[in-house]
Structure 1
């Protein structure tokens, strides 16, 4: 009879049954999403399949894993125990995956890169194009996201991230400063910036980094538009809704915009390229990080607003 370790199944001591890792992952998704509909969408299955799957798992265990409430699915004590076990399994699987990937010295295979949305069109694509030409054996999966993906779980292999203080659990290098200034619509006269209408990021953006600056610069009654993401700020200013803070690397090259101030250090940040320590020696990761850092050097004045 095969051992549990060799079958890849995880024991459930309470009911004396064995459950596959996929069942643990499924229960964890239900808990994180708060119900079957969102969990099914995340896992790429339909709602009826998810319903039958949960019913089957609970039948095997002979106990409920979730209380079905109007506000969502709430884990029972048994459900919490299974979710905690799923977290431990997920961590072990990710660690093993990173270890294997980190030992591959050949610059080939798939590389998952994440970057902010607003970096994609302006400068990122030409760098990716030259990289693909230089390393034809590497296939890139680009994940554009406002939020920071979890590199420990291998949501991505390399992160290009704007930050003032990147996570100490990651390794990498600072590429350049990221300057921000106040911009308005090109061809429009501006006398007193405080009296102008403003377009600003909401307090939810970047950990409220912009809030003190906005409070000091723009009276509340002059704020015409708040946006809960950095995406769209440039278009809003260019459309004439109001003036507002924008990244210099993006706004200075836009002929529909006009810079109205020098860089404001209090809303500036740095551009970092980061990876997990287990992956830093992988051939494809090292090749990408070296190529990207080299390509950024001549662009630093643009990013720093010089």
Structure 2
């Protein structure tokens, strides 16, 4: 009996997705093909790998053993890929960079344009997300993150503090702020720190808009939906807005550029991190709300 890596990967995908339909979509095959592949693996092993329940596919002991082996193989393959990627001497090839979506237009694009002109052999794959992608799995090579405590498994540089203030429209006068309409990120953002900030300053019925991300907050305040907390590096540069108070230390964090230790000496990673850090130096006062 011989098994190849694709069979391990397939069984792990079924387990991860709880069934054939989602696993098939993730692997780019149809449901019928997935059904036949699972049946073939089970026939080869002469063992049932999943119990087919109404709630989904639940691994049997044999399935759990195969999934654990698949996870170990996946880790080994990823570690090998990182080690090989870290040996590159020439700044070339694909570079996967993850950053918050709100950084894209005003901050990242001018930096990436300059970087691309300087290193035309590097192809950038930019992943804009509020989620912290797993650099150990090589979901990305470099992470630009705003965090108070970045993962201990990563290495990099702290570039600046990121300050937040309270902002409203520049063309309006404000009196008692507790009577104004407010906008803010919801309780799932930054462990609810923004909701606590607003709750200390206005009753709940004054919150006109709540977002599950910080992206779009400045547009909401500019549109007149209400006043709200905004990052100073975004809001101070917007002539439609004016700072009403702040910065507030309890809302702040730090800007970092990070990578996995196995990749820090890779030429394309090293030059990007150096380039980004250099580009941020003149912007430090803007980030810190000064």
Q: Return the offset for 1:194.
A: 1.5
* Cα distance change on mapping 1:235 and 1:70 into 2, 3 Å: farther
Match of 2:175 in 1: 191
What is the match of residue 132 of structure 1? Answer: 116
* 1:6 aligned partner: none
1:213, CA displacement in angstroms?
Answer: 1.8
Residues 202-238 of structure 1: per-residue CA shift (max 9 Å, x gap): 1111233324323322322212222112222222222
Q: 1:224-243 alignment to 2 at 5 Å?
A: 224-243=208-227
**Counterpart of 1:19 in 2: which secondary structure?**
coil
User: In the superposition, relative to structure 1, how do residues 105 and 220 fare at CA in structure 2: closer, same or farther (>3 Å)?
Assistant: same
2:280 corresponds to 1:261: no
Deviation string, structure 1 residues 132-176 (Cα, Å, up to 9, x no partner): 111111111111111001111111111001100111111000011
Q: Following TM superposition, by how much is the alpha carbon of 1:184 offset from its aligned partner in structure 2, in angstroms?
A: 1.8
Q: Distance in 1 between matches of 2:56 and 2:241?
A: 46
Distance 1:38 1:189 in 2: 53
Report the equivalent of 1:142.
Answer: 126
Does residue 28 of structure 2 align to residue 44 of structure 1? Answer: yes
- 1:110: Cα distance to partner? 1.1
Partner of 1:217: 201
Mapped to 2, the partners of 1:110 and 1:99 lie a distance apart of 15
Q: Which runs of 5+ in 1 are unaligned?
A: 1-16
Map 1:87-102 → 2, pairs under 5 A: 87-102=71-86
Measure the CA separation in 1 of the matches of 2:115 and 2:170: 35
Q: CA 1:30–1:185 in structure 2 vs 1: closer, same or farther (change >3 Å)?
A: farther
Confirm or deny: 8 A CA contact 2:184 2:195 kept in the other structure: no
Matches within 5 A, 1:62-101: 62-101=46-85
Match among 184, 188, 208 for residue 204 of structure 1: 188
Secondary structure (helix, strand or coil) at the match of 1:181 reads strand
RMSD of aligned alpha carbons: 1.5
Which residue of the partner structure matches residue 156 of structure 1?
140
Structure 2 segments unaligned to the other structure (5+ residues): none
The answer as to 2:93 corresponding to 1:103 is no
Please report how far the alpha carbon of residue 20 of structure 1 lies from its aligned counterpart in structure 2 after TM superposition.
1.4
Match of residue 271 from structure 2: 287
- Using structure 2 for the length normalisation, give the TM-score: 0.95
TM-score (norm. length: structure 1): 0.90
Per-residue deviation, 1:56 = 2.1
User: How far does residue 104 in structure 1 lie from its aligned partner after superposition?
Assistant: 1.2
* Alpha-carbon distance in structure 1 between the residues aligned to 2:282 and 2:105: 18
Alpha-carbon separation, structure 2, partners of 1:185 and 1:65? 60
Determine the C-alpha separation between the residues in 1 that align with 2:70 and 2:203.
49
Kindly provide the CA deviation profile for residues 66-98 of structure 1, in whole angstroms up to 9, marking residues without a partner as x.
222232222222222111111111111111011
Of residues 135-144 and 43-52 in structure 1, the stretch that sits farther from structure 2 once superposed is 43-52
